[in-house]
Amino acid sequence: SSELTQDPAVSVALGQTVRITCQGDSLRSYYASWYQQKPGQAPVLVIYGKNNRPSGIPDRFSGSSSGNTASLTITGAQAEDEADYYCNSRDSSGNPLFGGGTKLTVL
């Protein structure tokens, strides 16, 4: 199906590790990219490809993929990581498709 499914909300204790997942058939042949969006701001790329971080993104952010599931892992979550996170892949027509987003709360 042409959908990317994310958990609506996830929470993590400060300094702990959290995994945000994205499920969809297209992920079997297309690596997800991940975007962080804080309130009132534009999305920011945090992970792309197999596990690539743009310049300026902390190394506590990492990506992985298995079967139809892509994951964004934050190892040692910080208060500033509290944000919405979106995965992106392709739909059955080859056009970009975003997941519904996951709201990450850092406790």
Q: Which residues bind other proteins (CB under 8 A)?
A: 29-31, 33, 35, 37, 42-45, 48-50, 54, 65, 86, 88, 95-101
| Residue 66 CB-density burial (10 A; 0-12 exposed, 13-18 middle, 19+ buried) | exposed
Q: Which residues contact 20 (CB under 8 A, 6 or more apart)?
A: 6, 7, 10, 34, 71, 72, 73, 74, 85, 102, 104
Q: Based on CB atoms, which residue is closest to other proteins, 29 or 79?
A: 29
Residue 87 beta carbon to other proteins: minimum distance, rounded to whole angstroms: 10
Q: Pick the closer one to other proteins by CB: 10 or 45.
A: 45
CA distance 21 to 7: 7
The answer to whether 70 and 51 have CB atoms below 8 angstroms apart is no
Between 76 and 90, CB nearer to other proteins: 90
Pick the closer one to other proteins by CB: 43 or 76: 43
Supply the minimum distance, in Å, between the C-beta of residue 92 and other proteins: 12
CB 46 within 8 A of CB 54: yes
Minimal distance, residue 15 CB to other proteins, in Å: 28
CB of 35 to other proteins, least distance (A): 7
